[in-house]
Structure 1
């Protein structure tokens, strides 16, 4: 019976609903016993306005129910952009847009994530206080819209924030201490940053352009520390036009001297610099629960021999069964040279490209010398380990692959990237010729 009720909600058949109510007048009361969702959930996500109105007339309390996934009917309607259903639910209670679901996300958060600008406008006009609601990560709707690159939602939020005189939310920070400007810079949201400038929010002084997050980094720091291949220069110029600074420059700026007016300046500057450096290092530190732990080890498939063995030349049968090897040599290299050769080739390519990517992505990392030492050490450790665990007959091959090929990997990768289209066309032509 409940399955039939949910089917009626799915297709939005009000006549079928009343037929079921005639057969069992208590069917709406029994829904909670057999399903995690009520008919209002189903009708809201399907967009059946008339069915929603009828359910609200019959069972108003359905509007407040959260399903097992942590969503209310308002969450679902907001995420799908069903503006009329959102308005109908708001008539029941405007506070439904502040109903907390999974990870404390509200319907406004869902609308911002999905970029439903009209829904965002309706909710804020009916309930202005919902703009201050935050998720379990401390993110406002504006944080989420910027993070998900929902430009229309960001635009709608900014317009209403100004109209409702709620500019204070622009400086709210998430659990990592990031403001919306931190996120826009980190995610390279040039359009969003230009929107801030166009709406005069930054120029008005309302938005704190030099706010620091929990790691002591400003928006400009995040932009420069995590560079991308294109667009950074333009964003940097846009930001620099409104006076943002790096954290280290703020610490050395005369404007911050009031914080240490009663301290000797000869000692305060090094102390501040040391604090900033400590915060920056901590930003990249492994944090339990945030980063996935893993074990790093250089070990080929099958492991290595634990003992040395030289077969008796007089016993040819035994020599064929068990091959000569030395302790520390790869078992795979002894039993399957071709498989080991392929492992060395592709594993070396993977490591080389990974180290090359680390070098590119951290090119503006402040502790550049120390990082380069780590990369070089990893490179030589890998090469030394593979060469020493290879049998004598394969050492030359391993040296060529791990030393020469890995050194040429960045050049090869760049060549392939630049000529990927031509290479693809060549491969397709070759396949057609073979076929």
Structure 2
């Protein structure tokens, strides 16, 4: 884009725009040949209404053009809440295509307005194109899904009332592709009490809202409520008051109904119920597992850092104070100063377990050190791009060498100390090689028959 045209778009200078067009009447037509953005993109970001009006008048085709990031001017204005700009663009949208224009990940302008809570823009778009409220993203998310995910409560209330008035309650029961979750599933998981109460307590949609809808993991909204957690008692009461059940209770009710009609199907129903209960347990287990696209990588990193810190603390402490403790005196004398002939030869400050069995002590140190170093390695990986990186790495390295010095010092004999010293020195290299080997194995799993066979064989053993 011409630098002067970009400046005019960024500052909203309509006079400069006319001067540039007087110099080169084809300026707006040549933008597509030199840039992935047009002046309308820039003006929409800056919110210059008058400049947008002039560009739309001169070049109305610009309203549907996407920039390199997959955003049209309508997407940008909707996300930023520029109501007047949205109205101006809708005036040239005679066939109502602009309201449902799909950008990156098939998001429409209404999706962006809902995710940012732009209620005025939502109202304007829906008035112009009521069908736009039914559009879904590439992940199967409706506008209400996005509003719930982003905790935009004013937008949620407006959209729920809107679908109720227009008799489109089926939108509330639509499921996304992340895990087959409905709006009620999402609101329950995010503990949005007011949203859950607004959904199940709305008399207009009460009969059409599927409170017992089951997602891809076999869970109802009530299954996502855990009464032992703070505030979940209230949400459970709200859902149960609307007739919500846990998935296991729904299955049980179905089996009871079947048994009342036919005695011959008792055995089959019992087996079905048992299988479904087992499936329910499995689904619950999967619910707590990390799922890409559903769970935040930042939260996963935080959890891993906490676990790694706990492992490092435990292994460091037990390394300094191994099982059976440390001798308080040298061999030949008891704690009270009396001679002793029942103890193995030892020095004060050495491991008691190592004095009785050097093999057990080495065995203990090896596996404890593996756990300790792997926890430090995990912390190093998870904090790789943190500020003060050099200082953090020095701290981790100093902690490892302090651990090595302590463990070597309590070793009971020269050969034991030698074995442990060599192992602790090569352990970092062994862990690094093991990580590279594991990654290579994952790679050949998809490309090499041997890798596939090895992993299949390992799966059978485990």
TM over 0.5: yes
**SS of alignment partner, residue 278 of structure 2:** helix
Residue-by-residue CA offset, 1:335-355 (whole Å, 9 max, x unaligned): xxxxxxxx99x97xx9xxxxx
Aligned counterparts of 2:187 and 2:259: Cα–Cα separation in 1 = 28
- Is the contact made by 1:250 and 1:256 (CA closer than 8 Å) also made in structure 2? no
- Is the contact made by 1:83 and 1:118 (CA closer than 8 Å) also made in structure 2? yes
- Is the contact made by 2:258 and 2:269 (CA closer than 8 Å) also made in structure 1? no
Q: Which residue of 1 aligns with 2:420?
A: none
Work out which of the residue numbers 259, 276, 293 in structure 1 matches 2:280. Answer: 276
**Aligned residue pairs: how many?**
323
Q: Which residue of 2 aligns with 1:390?
A: 407
- Is the contact made by 1:221 and 1:247 (CA closer than 8 Å) also made in structure 2? yes
- Is the contact made by 1:201 and 1:207 (CA closer than 8 Å) also made in structure 2? no
CA RMSD in angstroms, aligned pairs only:
3.9
- Is the contact made by 1:121 and 1:160 (CA closer than 8 Å) also made in structure 2? no
Give the 5 Å matches for 1:137-216: 137-175=139-177, 176-201=179-204, 204-216=206-218
CA separation of 1:90 and 1:288: change in aligned 2, threshold 3 A: closer
Aligned counterparts of 1:57 and 1:183: Cα–Cα separation in 2 = 43
CA separation of 1:290 and 1:389: change in aligned 2, threshold 3 A: farther
In the superposition, the TM-score normalised over structure 1's length comes to: 0.65
- Residue 101 (structure 1) aligned with residue 103 (structure 2): yes
Unpaired segments ≥5 residues, structure 2:
317-360, 380-402, 413-462
In the superposition, the TM-score normalised over structure 2's length comes to: 0.62
Larger radius of gyration: 2
CA separation of 1:25 and 1:181: change in aligned 2, threshold 3 A: same
Give the 5 Å matches for 1:284-295: 284-285=288-289
Give the 5 Å matches for 1:294-373: none
CA separation of 1:283 and 1:234: change in aligned 2, threshold 3 A: closer
**SS of alignment partner, residue 89 of structure 2:** helix
Q: Which residue of 2 aligns with 1:318?
A: none
Aligned counterparts of 2:31 and 2:362: Cα–Cα separation in 1 = 69
TM-superposed CA distance for 1:279, in Å, is 2.8
Unpaired segments ≥5 residues, structure 1:
302-325, 335-342, 351-385, 396-435
TM-superposed CA distance for 1:197, in Å, is 4.0
Aligned counterparts of 1:389 and 1:248: Cα–Cα separation in 2 = 54
- Is the contact made by 1:260 and 1:268 (CA closer than 8 Å) also made in structure 2? no
Aligned counterparts of 1:77 and 1:20: Cα–Cα separation in 2 = 25
